[in-house]
Amino acid sequence: MPTNNRLINTWVLVILMLIGLAACNSQNENGLPTVASTALPTPTLAAEQIASPTLPPPVTMEPTVAACEFPTQPALTGAWSSEELGCPTTAGAAAINTAYAPFEGGQMLWRGDTDTIYVLYNDGRWESYPNEWEQSSQEFSCGEESSPPTPKRGFGRVWCDHPAVRDALGAVTADEIGDAASAVQDFANGTILVAPFGDLFVFAGESGTWRVVEAP
């Protein structure tokens, strides 16, 4: 019976459609499966990684002090100051002729290698004069021919020829003494000269002052 077969097929088709609709409704009611969102991990840095970089301390440049061309005479190192006198300008000498005389208002020193007379005043000033006394001259250039109170030879010539020196120094208080083994050296800003009795006299050129360092 073909009619019955067609009818059966129709019902089977209807049933399948109903089953399909039921399945669709069940899925809509239950909802489609959702995928849970997973937060991505936030990278974290260790404290030592995010700390500010440590910079090395600044380098301090020390001033370079140029070496002196000449060394200081060994006998004069105790009186030498680089800030005061600067570098030696000559090799100096370990043994020259010198003479010394004390006055009421100061002192006089003679330096044999340059034939120079230094006048030292008690207020700290100093001056220098060329020695113009000669062996053929009289021992006393002026005044009473006795020492003291009158200086003689080169000291007397400066004292007699320069009234300002004579007034400032006054009379000589003892006869001059000499030595043939005194050290001396010139510097950029002065001179160091050893007196016959061993003390070191420092003549600073820039300030025009003198000082004495006792013999060691």
62: which residues sit within 8 A by CB, 6+ positions away? Answer: none
Residue 15 confidence class, pLDDT cut points 50, 70, 90: confident
User: What is the tens place of the pLDDT at every residue in 52-108?
Assistant: 567 667 666 655 557 899 999 999 999 999 999 999 999 999 999 999 999 999 999
Q: Against a cut of 0.75, is the pTM above it?
A: no
Cα diameter, the chain? 183
Least-confidence region, from 46-50, 115-119, 189-193: 46-50
Q: Name the residue type at position 134.
A: E
User: What is the tens place of the pLDDT at every residue in 136-179?
Assistant: 999 999 999 998 999 999 999 999 999 999 999 999 999 999 99
Looking at residue 61, its pLDDT comes to 60
Taking Cα atoms as reference points, which of 131, 83, 133, 140 lies closest to residue 110? 131
Q: Name the residue type at position 86.
A: G
SS3 call for 3: helix
Instruction: Please state whether 41 falls in left (phi above 0), alpha (psi between -120 and 50) or beta.
Output: beta
SS3 call for 202: strand
Tell me what the pLDDT averaged over the chain comes to.
84
Residue 123 reports pLDDT greater than 50: yes
50: which residues sit within 8 A by CB, 6+ positions away? Answer: none
What does the DSSP assignment read for 121-181?
ETTSBEEEEE----TTS-S-SSS-SSTTTS--HHHHHHHHH-HHHHHHH-SB-S--EEEEE
